[in-house]
Chains A and B, each alone.
Chain A
Amino acid sequence: GQQVMQIPQYQHVQEGEDFTTYCNSSTTLSNIQWYKQRPGGHPVFLIQLVKSGEVKKQKRLTFQFGEAKKNSSLHITATQTTDVGTYFCAGMNRDDKIIFGKGTRLHILP
């Protein structure tokens, strides 16, 4: 069946370093959403990407949707301690079925 693979599963970075998480779908997606779950919180919506090749920025966060609409990435520039958490992607296919990635757990080392 359709899968959304998210890598890496874990990432430790020094504060100030950059961080990237990737999602790869086995099939073409109609859109992809990104969520952040802080330790102690529930998944919180960050952004939705719909168009092929779309790039969106939110301050230090850059989101990309691949040309084939099968891949997406979230890049954080100059991480801060407040960035700690689990980042999920959720891909929706053309049948409106949603598949969550397993998340990338980001630890920030001071």
Chain B
Amino acid sequence: ETGVTQTPRHLVMGMTNKKSLKCEQHLGHNAMYWYKQSAKKPLELMFVYNFKEQTENNSVPSRFSPECPNSSHLFLHLHTLQPEDSALYLCASSQDIPGLDFTDTQYFGPGTRLTVL
């Protein structure tokens, strides 16, 4: 068990729907991340949060809206998505944001498999 949970595990939505992905970490970490992994492709970093503040937005379209109400919870709000947004969305957390030691080692959740029709 990684200590990072994600819900739902699977989600099917239409292009006009609004849905949210949830991530929760039970590790006492300060940094949380959203990644996208399209079919059989490497991870793409989307957002980074540190102490509830967004520190990185990797040129993600505005139809993806992250929210970090506290250090343990991270949401990804979805609206008017496109079929090409279908992918596995992974959440991760680390003790600190990337620095010069190993406290930035990231722990990954199981992911949410998103299908946009």
Binding site for B on A (CB under 8 A): 31, 33, 35, 37, 39-43, 45, 48, 86, 90, 92, 96-100, 102-103, 105
Contacts and interface: CB of A to CB of B under 8 A. Distances in A.
- Taking residues whose C-beta sits less than 8 angstroms from the other chain, chain B's interface range is 20 to 34
Contact of A98 (B37, B99, B101): B37
B67 interface: no
Contacts of A97: 110-111, 113
Contacts of B88: 96, 98
Contacts of B102: 39, 86, 105
Interface stretch (B18-26, B39-47, B71-79): B39-47
Contact of B43 (A40, A45, A86, A96): A45
Contacts of A45: 42-43
Interface in B25-84: 33, 37, 39-40, 42-43, 45, 48
6 contacts: A40-B104, A41-B98, A96-B88, A97-B111, A100-B108, A105-B102
Contact of B105 (A48, A96, A99, A105): A105
A103 B48 CA distance: 20
B100 A40 contact: yes
A43 B106 contact: yes
Contact of B106 (A39, A42, A96): A42
A86 B105 contact: yes
B111 A43 contact: no
